[in-house]
Structure 1
Amino acid sequence: MTDKPNESSEPTPPRTQPVVSGQAAPSPYDSPTGEIPVVKSGAGENVPRTEDELGLDPEVPGVGERTEPIANRPAEEPTEPVTPAYAFASIPPAPAAGEGGLRRRGDYRRGTLDLGLLGLRLVVGLTFLYHGLQKLAGWFHGPGLDQTRAMLEQGGWKHGELSTAMLSVAEVGGGALIVLGLATPLAAGAVLASITDAWLWKQGMAPGFQYKPVELESILVGLAATLILTGPGRLSFDRNRGWATRPMWGSVTALVLALIAAAASWIYLHGGNPFTGFFD
């Protein structure tokens, strides 16, 4: 053994010393615009050097991505954009235009209509309530029940007690409900029936057909009938009812029934032709 490292048996190629001259050694990069010699394959064909010669697709797929040949790909059809749905959305979508919210907005464009109907109810209701309390309780210097019954019997009404009770209840109950705007078609129908009979009675007390004796009763008949057809409005206890703001066939039915009740009570409790006079 020796301290010298093992020497290879192959001979070491001799090192060439750079030629030192007055000019630097030429390099292929000194002239980049120079023409690169054409390299040919063993078959004598030119070796491709650019992407165009190689026929590479400029859109090179990523690593691991499987692609199909362009000739085998189906023709893409235009599709509508898909609206993304977010699972974390908690706010419901806004209602589309033209739904019930916009239709209901038109119902509130009533201006002062409800205020006018309130005034109509107060005039009609308080008038009947005033006269009813005069007959029922004798308030406001009224005749009371006894004198009211005697007055009706002298005027040709039959069944004095029944006539007095029906008249007092219709005026007091109907007038109070009209002021409140509660069960308005029934309340207005009750006062319409009672005031219609009063119109027939006062018309029969005068000789022939005259308007002046029944002028006040004619106005009250028209107001009560109008209230049935218009409804009490939103400023009433019936504001959530259909007849309060948009009365239809139900109100017409209430008007017809009130007139039928007036005719039936007139025939049963009094009778006679009011247009010729009771004393002719």
Structure 2
Amino acid sequence: MSTTAGGVHSPYDSPTGQFPRVAMTKEIPAMASVASGDKPGETPGPNAPGGAGGDPSTYTYASIPPAGTQPSGALRRRNGDGRRGTLDLGLFILRLVVGGTFLYHGLQKLTGWFDGPGLDGTKDMMEKGGWDHPSVAAALVTAGEVGGGVLLILGLATPLAAGAVLAVILDAWMFKQGMVPDFQYATGETAVEIDTILAGAAIAIIFTGPGRWALDRGRGWATRPGTGSFVVLILAFAAAIFTYWYLQDGNPLVGIGPFE
């Protein structure tokens, strides 16, 4: 580098070795003040560009803001930051347990495996339980358990799968609760404790997504589900309530609090 009367020259500023002069205009007086060490509002000092001893066309490196060294949170998300710990493994295990439970009961109804009733037995069971159109009721519960269970295990169309099994278990919850007055959480054959746990697990999957250990891993709902989760939840409750009202025509809340 060399110094002349015209200011500082650097051979790196241009191929010809000439320093490019950048005029300090009225739009950047604050930058000139910072370069000379003056406070804002004061008269520029003798070393400031344009001051008593300065050159108004001299470039000041002090006016260049330092570059950031850390990417923002939004940039990390766009770059696919994979710091999720064991979250995806935990969601995979949750899906296996919940989906496997529904698939187990669905195969009992569909094929008669695991000492199940099969389709004919399921139809008879629905008829004895007071369900109108028992064939339709048996088909709905079997499809919800088998289809929803398989999709949950695979992590495919996960919001719809979780919504389907949620609607099925809500109907089972209402059927057991409506058989006997008073709250039947953990008493006798009509206890709804397990049904409540399965319903809560299905709701959790709706809000968390399946995680990255799933066929849905490329979908937005796999790791960052949003308002669509609330839509699925509302539709699942609506489907369960409508099905119970249409096929069972009863009040599952009889004897609970004000529901006498």
TM-score (norm 2): 0.69
The corresponding residue for 1:225 is: 203
The corresponding residue for 2:104 is: 130
The corresponding residue for 2:220 is: 242
1:207 lines up with 2:185 in the alignment: no
- Listed as ranges, the matches of 1:88-237 within 5 Å are 98=71, 102-104=76-78, 107-212=81-186, 213-237=191-215
Distance 1:101 1:166 in 2: 45
Deviations 1:8-61 (A, max 9, x none): xxxxxxxxxxxxxxxxxxxxxxxxxxxxxxxxxxxxxxxxxxxxxxxxxxxxxx
Q: Which runs of 5+ in 2 are unaligned?
A: 1-54, 62-67
The corresponding residue for 2:26 is: none
Q: Which runs of 5+ in 1 are unaligned?
A: 1-74, 82-94
Compared with structure 1, are the counterparts of its residues 107 and 250 closer, same or farther at alpha carbon in structure 2 (3 Å cutoff)? farther
User: Which amino acid letter does the alignment assign opposite residue 109 of structure 1?
Assistant: R
Distance 2:70 2:253 in 1: 60
1:256 lines up with 2:234 in the alignment: yes
Compared with structure 1, are the counterparts of its residues 251 and 234 closer, same or farther at alpha carbon in structure 2 (3 Å cutoff)? same
- The count of aligned residue pairs is 191
The corresponding residue for 1:78 is: 58
Distance 2:81 2:242 in 1: 39
Distance 1:146 1:244 in 2: 38
RMSD: 2.2
Deviations 1:217-275 (A, max 9, x none): 11111111111011000110111111110111011111111101111111111121112
User: How much identity, in percent, do the aligned residues show?
Assistant: 58
User: Which amino acid letter does the alignment assign opposite residue 258 of structure 1?
Assistant: A
Specify the SS of the correspondent of 1:266. helix
Shift of 1:276: 2.0
Specify the SS of the correspondent of 2:192. helix
Distance 2:250 2:201 in 1: 26
Specify the SS of the correspondent of 1:141. coil
User: Which amino acid letter does the alignment assign opposite residue 190 of structure 1?
Assistant: A
- Runs of 4 or more, structure 1, over 2 Å off, are 95-107
Compared with structure 1, are the counterparts of its residues 276 and 216 closer, same or farther at alpha carbon in structure 2 (3 Å cutoff)? same
1:276 lines up with 2:250 in the alignment: no
Distance 1:274 1:76 in 2: 85
Shift of 1:206: 2.2
Larger radius of gyration: 1
Distance 2:76 2:129 in 1: 58
Distance 1:77 1:226 in 2: 65
User: Which amino acid letter does the alignment assign opposite residue 98 of structure 1?
Assistant: P
Compared with structure 1, are the counterparts of its residues 225 and 76 closer, same or farther at alpha carbon in structure 2 (3 Å cutoff)? closer
Shift of 1:117: 0.3
Compared with structure 1, are the counterparts of its residues 76 and 188 closer, same or farther at alpha carbon in structure 2 (3 Å cutoff)? closer
Compared with structure 1, are the counterparts of its residues 76 and 200 closer, same or farther at alpha carbon in structure 2 (3 Å cutoff)? closer
Shift of 1:204: 1.1
